[in-house]
Structures are given as C-alpha cells and as structure tokens.
Structure 1
C-alpha cells in the first residue's frame, strides 16, 4: 500500500462566522489522482487552499509525515505542494517564460530546472510558440496550460489542480485532461477539484463528494461513476 502524501483529520476552515469546512477527514496516497466533487460552494476550493496554506485551518493536516499547522505558504511549496489555482492566476504582465521562471523561484538546481522547463514545453507545445508573449494576452486554454506548467516548475510531489476545465472549449478540456492523465502515469500525485464530475472521475482512482463543507460520500472513482445518487446529482444522468 502506498503511503499517504496528504492526510487530513477533522479539518476545519472558518471565514469569519462562516464554517466553510466542517471537520472533514481524507487522504491522498502517493501516485493517485483523487478528485473532490460537489456543487459550487461545497468547499472544494477551500480544501485546496487549506492544504496550500492560503486560508487558516484547524484540525490535523499532514504532508507525508510533517504537520503543516506551523508551516508557512512558501515553505509548503519547498516541501513539494504546488497549486494551479481556479481562474489560472497567471502573471498577466509577464511573458510565458517569466511565468515559468517564477514557478521555479524556490529552486537552486539549475540542471533540474532546465529539465523541467523542457518537459513543460514538450507537454504543452503551444507555450513554446508563445514564450515571449505576455501571459495576459493569451487564450483561456493557453493560460491554463501555463498555470499547470508554472506549478510543475516547482517540482512538486503533489499537484493541486483547481477547476482546470473552467470556461474552456471542450476540445481544450480534453487536451488538458489527457495531460493530467499523462502526468499521473509518469508518477505525479494529483488532487483535483473539478466541476465536470464525469471527466474528473474518469481519470481518478478515488473521489470524495462534498456538500456544504462535509464529505458525504467517498469511494473508488469507478464506483462513484456508477452510483445512482452521484449520477443524478452531479453527472446529469
């Protein structure tokens, strides 16, 4: 059995008086793709932000065997946690190349950086054609490719992917998901938040269903794809 990279036990997040995440427990094992699915406002993005350290949380949250409660955001990146955020969040006034360089800001291994840079351009040939283009002038699909690549440039042990298909044309969505699948086949552990539950479950090993800040269901992705309740609520079948 592979060991857990992320282990959350009774995780809570409050936004002022709003209890956004209500004591959830879950884990992501090495080499898995795990999806969080649920309606808007269920707490999926907040869960990722808690792991990244972008929102304060309580309860137990471990990365490998390290307690994250006192680890600042930048140190979490150095440990191996990288997030490709919802809305992409590229540096609009910087070129593609500069965005990729920013992804590797915490690294000193020049040979490794060069290797990962070349890997990203191989994964996303579109970026290679646009190295000196300002990121803010690119299409949504290209920005998504850049956001994922920038996260990969930090050499993560786990990639947190938040709504990679949001606002993209179906053809681009299919390409993005193929690349996510390929990354996992090459050994990357991925925690995926995705509105397109069907696509997410098709490339995942396991998934958790969130409703109003609570986990209401968890199972293998294959079982959830065939679960009548999930099909009716999230797959539109």
Structure 2
C-alpha cells in the first residue's frame, strides 16, 4: 500500500486560549480530491493554514513521509504544497500577469513557467482577456480563477483550495468546480475546504466532517452525500 501524499497525526492549533484544532488526524492520497466540511468555526481553514505553515501547530504533518514540523512556509511551497486562500487574496495593485509571475517566484525553469502560464490561461480564458488588468478591479469570480492559477504556477503536488465558491454566483461556482474536477482528472491532488458541502461531496473521493476542531466522521464523498446526519446538518435536507 502506498503512503499518503500528505497526512496529519494528532494536530493541535491554539489561538491564544482558543483550542481551534483538537487532535486532527487525516490523510490525502495521491490523485484524490478530499474535502473537509463543517460549520463555520469548525477548524477547516485552520487545518489548511497549519498544513501550509502559516500558523503554529503541534502534532505531526507529513508530506511524502517527510516531517514538516520545522519546515518554514516558503520551503513547503518548494516541496509542492500550494494554497489558494479563503477570500482569494490576489495582489490587487498587480496585473493578472504579475500575479501569475508571483505564483512562480520560487522557480527558475523559464520554459516550464511559460508552459504552466499558458495552461492556466487555457483553463481560464477570462484571465487571458484580462491579462494586464489590475487584479483588484476584477469580479469575484475572476479573482477566484486568478487565485487558483497563481497557486498552480508553483507547480504543486497538492493544491489546497479554501472556500473557492465563497460569494460567487451559481453559474461561476459551477465553472470553478468543473475546473477543479478537470485538474484532478489531469493528475492534481486536491484538498478542498468548502462551505457548499453538497458541491464538495459530489466531486470528492473522500471527505472528513469537522466539528469544533475534531473529525467526527469520514467516508467516501457519495456515502456522506447520502448520510442522513450529514444531509440534515450540512445539506439542509
């Protein structure tokens, strides 16, 4: 059996006196889409931020069997962990082109960087039309496309997607999720945090349910989609 691409063991995070993650243990295998679902404040974004090294944590995080405990954020990006953050976080006073360049800041392979840039513009034709537009003047959907593309420019082995549908019109949400599925079909491993649990579970191989910093349930995406407790608590049916 192959080892997971990324995994945690007894992961804890504190924000001052608040115990945000309480012994979270999970794994994502190569080629999977895995979702973390749960209510606001359950610890979903905190989990992604801990994996990226953006906040201190205790317990273990392993990436390709390497212990990341003392590995700083920028080196985690170099190893192959990229995050598209909640709220998109594009550089508003930079153009689309400049934002994409920032995504590749740690790379030196100019030919491959251009190839990845062209791939992103093929995935998101809207960005090609807006190449020299300031990112801060674009719509929410366009900024989300840019945030995902910027993360892809680091050529990650795993893409951490935090609330990609947040604040977007249903048509744009459907487009974003279609792209996520396509990326996965092309070989990208994805860990998805998403408030829209129904959409997330529909495209996920597996998922974990977080409640107040603890994993309370895990199963295949399709099983959780049909689980009565999940349907009542998170799907509104």
Alignment TM class, shorter chain as reference:
over 0.9
Give runs of ≥4 in structure 1 deviating > 4 Å: none
Please list every run of 5 or more consecutive structure 1 residues that lacks an aligned counterpart in the other structure. Answer: none
Offset of 1:3 from its aligned partner?
3.1
Match of residue 219 from structure 1? 219
The corresponding residue for 1:45 is 45
2:100 and 2:212 mapped to 1: Cα distance?
Answer: 35
How far apart in 2 are the matches of 1:4 and 1:186?
Answer: 19
Corresponding residue number in structure 2 for 1:118: 118
Please name the residue that 2:19 is paired with.
Answer: 19
1:83 match: 83
Deviation of residue 65 (structure 1)? 1.1
Q: Summarize deviations over 1:111-160 as a string: whole Å, max 9, x none.
A: 11011000000000000000000000000000000000000000000000
- Per the alignment, residue 168 of structure 1 pairs with 168
Instruction: Give, in whole Å, the separation in 2 of the partners of 1:130 and 1:222.
Output: 37
Q: Alpha-carbon deviation of 1:101?
A: 0.2
For 1:101, what is the secondary structure of its paired residue? helix
May I ask how many residue pairs the two structures share in their alignment? 237
Pair 1:101 & 2:94 matched: no
Q: Secondary structure at the match of 2:195?
A: coil
Shift of 1:165: 0.1
Distance in 2 between residues matched to 1:57 and 1:75, nearest whole Å: 17
Q: How far apart, CA to CA, are the structure 2 residues paired with 1:2 and 1:155?
A: 22
Q: Unpaired segments of 5 or more residues in structure 2?
A: none
After TM superposition, give the deviation of residue 38 of structure 1 in Å.
0.2
CA offsets, 1:6-44, max 9 Å, x none?
110000000011100000100000000000000000000
TM superposition score normalised by structure 1: 0.99
Aligned mates of 2:73, 2:112 — CA distance in 1: 22
Deviation at 1:225, TM superposition (A): 0.5
1:179-230 deviation line (CA, Å, top 9, x unaligned): 0000000000000000000000000000000000000000011110010000
